[in-house]
Amino acid sequence: MHETLPPQGKRFCQHQGVVGEQGKCDAGELDTAVLEQARSGFRVLSGVFTGVLALALVIGFLLNDPHVAAEVASAAMIRQVFLLLLSLGMFVIASRRSFCPRALARIGHGYQLLGALAISLSIYLPAPDMHPPLSHLSWLGVWIVVFPLVAPSRLRVAIGLSLACTATVPLAMAITWLRGAPFPGALEVFAAILPYLFCAGIAVVSASLVNRLSTGISDAREQLMSMGTYELVERIGVGGMGEVWHAEHRLLRRPAAIKVIRQQQLEGATPPERQAVIARFEREATTLASLRSPHTVDLYDFGRTADGAFYYVMELLEGLDLERLVREHGPLPAGRVISILLQVCASLAEAHTRGMVHRDLKPANVMLCRMGLEVDFVKVLDFGLVSTVQTKRQADVKLTGENTILGTPAYMSPEQARAKDSVDARSDVYSLGCIAYFLLTGRQVFEQGEVLAMILDHVGTTPERPSRRLEKPIPEGLEQLVLDCLAKDPAERPQSAHGLAQRLRALEEVEPWTELDAHRWWAVHEPEKARAKVVAPAPDPVHATTQLVKV
């Protein structure tokens, strides 16, 4: 999932970034997937009508007699141009993913009504010396029929829209009568409306069928967890190969986040790609299950549903990730940076002791949470790229393919960027140094716009001192430790998360960040519990995205 919305209101935290949501985008009676289908339908319809109308206008200008072109342009042509601009505007709006699907559906309904009125006026509002056609089935019939099929809506809405579009016919006749044309008799008006009533009936039947499909989708969603343990509440994130749901345990009512990969989401992938995605998914679950640090996100369950979907259940976290923390509140004081780094080190130290390397540490993968009465409690997320040092070479060949590297360019160690076999715990130390640099300065170590340029900087460019970026002093010992973590040669860095933690605790010149400081900060900046949810990867800027890079 993923789009940038205003940060106020409920906050949803993602693995690959944070999306703030102004309230809840209520899907109403239709499933979210059906509303997304409506979004796509409005985009397709408006795009097709834009192309058809543009072509019709061009042909009309070419075929019309030059002497009557001005008269044509001043009447029907103007209404066609209006419909063209209306369709083009709808296409632009429907193409923007930042719109809530429900809000976009309402805009689409307005487009449907205005478009129907424009078509009716083009047909039943002729020049004063012309008689409007009565027993005539125009493009309005197509307009009425196709919308419920391509852009589904609730049944009562579809009925109302279809009848309203049909009502534009007598409305256009009334406008013609006001302009001086003779108004047809009641029988003639009925004859003119009858074909469109028939089209409206077809539209209502189509809407009914689509709503049954929506009900089936909702039922399937409820049956996703075949063991019946968890009740799905709402989908909170969608990635390229998976999605995440907010769920609750049916008996304990404990909230949870369920990460799912369905078979249909893998249909476009090749067999090796499908195998690699599933292998990473399973590896993340088994890795989380083996780790016990309180600073590693907890795994509750893992398995496969009756319809073949892979899933695992993890804790639902309250808070915000470090990416959002810095983007919204600016660089952090040195004492708070050390407090956060020590907690990340506690999570990584356990993984390193077991011979595991995270390989995708970045601010978006570190959550700062409320845990009971505690605040500023760190949770490390997204162990999908973790590898075991002893078997890393075989695993990387199997899961990433030949001549590829996997990770986030802005936080990738030089040896990981070179796709070397010697990636170990010191690679995570380098990434943690990049995170510390970001927390202290609010900027990344290297800020190239291109992926390869950024990777080359991590491989061969000496980073600028954090204090020069911040333009104010940073405790000398902390600054030097960050630069040591960013050493190009792994031998010159702290050799593990445990070693880094020892050096952090030895920094005496840094004013400590106390529990009282943390509570005061949360009371001012996060006074309400904003439920943040661990969700699937979503497209992000090149510097903040986990990417597969050909080398």
Residue 551 pLDDT > 60:
no
Architecture of domain 319-550: Orthogonal Bundle (1.10)
Instruction: State the burial class of residue 292 (Cβ atoms within 10 Å of its Cβ: 0-12, 13-18, 19+).
Output: exposed
Taking only the tens place, the pLDDT of each residue in 40-77 is 788 888 888 888 888 877 776 676 655 544 544 555 66
Q: Give the mean model confidence (pLDDT) for residues 461-470.
A: 91
Compute the distance between CA of residue 204 and CA of residue 212 in angstroms, rounded to an integer: 12
* Cβ atoms of residues 345 and 366 within 8 Å: no
CATH fold of 230-315, please? Phosphorylase Kinase; domain 1 (3.30.200)
Which of 20-24, 137-141, 312-316 has the lowest average pLDDT? 20-24
Residue by residue, DSSP assigns 371-412 as ETTEEEEEEE---TT-EEGGGHHHHHHHHH-TTEEEE-GGG-
CA 149 – CA 273 distance, rounded (Å): 34
CB of 437 closer than 8 Å to CB of 444: yes
- The whole-number pLDDT of residue 147 equals 80
- Residue 121 confidence (pLDDT): 81
CA distance 546 to 534: 16
Mention every residue, 6+ apart, whose C-beta is less than 8 A from residue 263: 307, 308, 309
Check residues 526 and 135 and name the one with the higher pLDDT. Answer: 526
Answer whether 520's CB lies under 8 Å from 511's CB. Answer: no
Sequence-separated (6 or more) residues with CB below 8 Å from residue 154:
28, 29, 30, 207, 211
Better-predicted residue by pLDDT, 285 or 334: 334
What is the predicted pLDDT for the residue at 127?
46
Report the distance separating Cα 534 and Cα 547, nearest Å: 19
Question: What residue segments make up the domains of the chain, in order of their start?
Answer: 31-213, 230-315, 319-550
At 265 the pLDDT is 58
Q: Is the sign of the CA dihedral 110, 112, 117, 118 positive or negative?
A: positive
Judge whether residue 466 has pLDDT over 90. yes
Cβ proximity of 191 and 164 under 8 Å: no
Distance CA 117, CA 140 (A): 9
pLDDT beyond 60 at 286:
yes
| pLDDT above 80 for 298 | yes
Q: What is the mean pLDDT of the chain?
A: 76
pLDDT at 533: 44
Query: Could you tell me which residue, 184 or 327, shows the higher pLDDT?
Result: 327
Strands (E), 121-222: none
User: Could you tell me the maximum CA-CA distance found in the chain, to the nearest angstrom?
Assistant: 95
pLDDT for 57: 75
Lowest mean pLDDT among 43-52, 207-216, 222-231, 302-311: 222-231
Can you list the positions of beta strands (E) in 169-288?
Answer: 230-238, 243-249, 255-261
- Would you please indicate which residues are annotated as catalytic (active-site) residues? 360
